[in-house]
Amino acid sequence: MSRIGKKPVELPSGVSASVSGQTVEVKGPKGTRSFTATDDVTITVEGNVITVAPRGDSKRARQQWGMSRSMVQNLVTGVSTGFRRELEINGVGYRAQMQGNVLKLALGYSHDVEFAVPAGVTVTAPKQTEIVVEGIDQQLVGQVAANIREWRGPEPYKGKGIKYKDEYIFRKEGKKK
């Protein structure tokens, strides 16, 4: 039995959902998202609750049960509150700034890195050492944050680079004489 799959997904006020076939469409104040489930699960909407149930006892049906419920929960969260990843820049001279739809990063290279922000995500730099990635698609927000972090990941000796705000960098001791 899936512990995650058993939980119903509650729809907050201002969010509506509709099911047509295997596709769930969720509308909220931040936008509209949809997800198409496999034929191994049944999705129903009753009032302000969405339930997911497996069709049969096969291993694949049980796997899809919990995953489909999580995907529906992410749709509801995305259109109601949205997703957010915060990045932090550490290092002397390392900084970020937004210029239109392009994030300019000074990361110690001989040139500035220009990162074009994809559609569906908003990137802001409230400070020169902070980057905030927001959107309604959790996968896209995480991927954009990972792509920005990839330009200069944190190194273990001084901790310089781009890291997630809640990330812990395992620090190493330098050479000894």
**pLDDT one-digit tens code per residue, 35-80:** 999 999 999 999 899 999 999 889 999 889 999 999 999 999 999 9
Q: Does domain 83-164 have CATH number 3.90.600.10?
A: no
The answer on pLDDT for 176 being more than 90 is no
Distance between terminal CA atoms of the chain? 58
The answer on pLDDT for 2 being more than 90 is no
Domain boundaries, the chain: 3-80, 83-164
The answer on pLDDT for 175 being more than 90 is no
Residues 57, 118: Cα–Cα separation, whole Å: 41
Residue 105 pairs in a beta bridge with: 96, 113
Secondary structure class of 169 (helix, strand, coil) = coil
Domain 3-80 maps to which CATH number in 3.40.190.10, 3.90.930.12, 3.40.50.970, 3.30.300.20? 3.90.930.12
What pLDDT, on the 0 to 100 scale, is given for residue 1?
A: 61
Q: Which of 11, 62, 13, 68 is nearest to 38 (CA)?
A: 68
State pTM to two decimals: 0.88
